[in-house]
A = this chain, B = another copy of it.
Amino acid sequence: MDSCVTAAIAKTDGYTPVFLHINYAQQTESRELVAFNKIANHYQVDQKIVVNISHLADIGVSCLTDKSLEVPNADLESDEIPISYVPFRNANILAAATSWAEVLGAKTIYVGAVEEDSSGYPDCRRSFFDAFEKTIDTGTKPGTQIKIITPLINLSKKEIVKKGIVLNAPLHLTWSCYKNEDVPCGECDSCALRARGFEQAGVQDPILN
C-alpha cells in the first residue's frame, strides 16, 4: 500500500516512474509480485525489474524470511524492534535501485518508507536515507545526482490511506499481509497497521470486500 501511494505521488510530481520489485525470499513474495505487476499495469509502467536478494533469507533471523519462525501477532504498543525486522534490508534494496538509476540516468528514487506509525525498523528512518544519499554521492560516477524521496516518511497510516484516495491510487490492488497470500491474516503487524489506518480514515479497506 505504501509503495502504491508513493507511486501515485511520483506520478503527481510529474515523473514517469519505473518500478522495482524486491524478492528477498519473504514468505509472501509471490503475492507481492502479483500486486506489483497489477499496479505497474494500472500505471502503464514501461520498465520493471525484479531484483533477487534472497541471500537475506540465507542470513536468516527474520520471521519474514525464515519459515521456521512464526509471524507473531501484532503488538503496536511495543518499543522493541519486532522479529519481522530484516537486517539492513532497505540498504540492499537501495543499492540495487541506485545501480539501476545510475544506468538509466534517473535523478530520483521514491521509497514508500514510513517512520512514524511503523514497526520501528532502523532502516526506515529519514536519517538513514540521508546517510544513504551521501553514500550515493560518493560512490557513483562524477555528475551522478540521485535523490531519495520518502514522501510518506512522516505520515500516519491514516494519512497514507487518505492521500491514496485523494490521488486515486489503486489501493484495491495492494497487499500488506506478512503471512498469507490469499486472505489477509488480520493479525500480523502489517495487517494491524493497515486496519488501524483504514479505520481511522473512516474508509472500508477495498481488499477486504
A55 contacts the other chain (CB 8 A): yes
Find chain B residues with CB under 8 A from A142 CB. Answer: 122
Find chain B residues with CB under 8 A from A123 CB. Answer: 139-140
Q: How far is the CA of A85 from the CA of B144 in the complex (A)?
A: 14
Known contacts A125-B138, A139-B122, A139-B131: does B102 contact A88 (CB below 8 Å)? yes
Each complex incorporates copies of this chain amounting to: 2
Q: How far is the CA of A81 from the CA of B140 in the complex (A)?
A: 11
Among A86, A98, A130, A132, residue most surrounded by chain B Cβ atoms (within 10 Å) = A132
Partner of A53, one of B96, B131, B139: B96
A43-81 interface code vs B (CB 8 A; 1 in, 0 out):
000000111111110111100000000000000000001
What's the nearest-Cβ distance from chain B to residue A76, in Å?
19
Known contacts A103-B60, A135-B131, A138-B131: does B92 contact A92 (CB below 8 Å)? yes
Question: Are A92 and B95 in touch, CB under 8 angstroms?
Answer: yes
A90-102 interface code vs B (CB 8 A; 1 in, 0 out):
1110111011101
Q: How far is the CA of A187 from the CA of B138 in the complex (A)?
A: 29
A residues 88-135 near B (Cβ < 8 Å) are 88-92, 94-96, 98-100, 102-103, 122-123, 125, 127-128, 130-132, 134-135
A188 contacts the other chain (CB 8 A): no
A137 contacts the other chain (CB 8 A): yes
Question: Are A122 and B140 in touch, CB under 8 angstroms?
Answer: yes
A87 contacts the other chain (CB 8 A): yes
Question: Are A59 and B103 in touch, CB under 8 angstroms?
Answer: yes
Q: List 6 A-B contacts (CB under 8 A).
A: A53-B53, A87-B102, A87-B141, A88-B140, A91-B91, A122-B138
Known A92-B95, A131-B135; further 15 A-B contacts with Cβ < 8 A: A49-B59, A52-B54, A81-B141, A85-B141, A86-B99, A87-B102, A88-B95, A88-B102, A88-B140, A91-B95, A91-B99, A122-B138, A125-B138, A131-B134, A135-B135
A-B pairs with lowest CB-CB distance, top 3: A123-B139, A87-B102, A128-B139
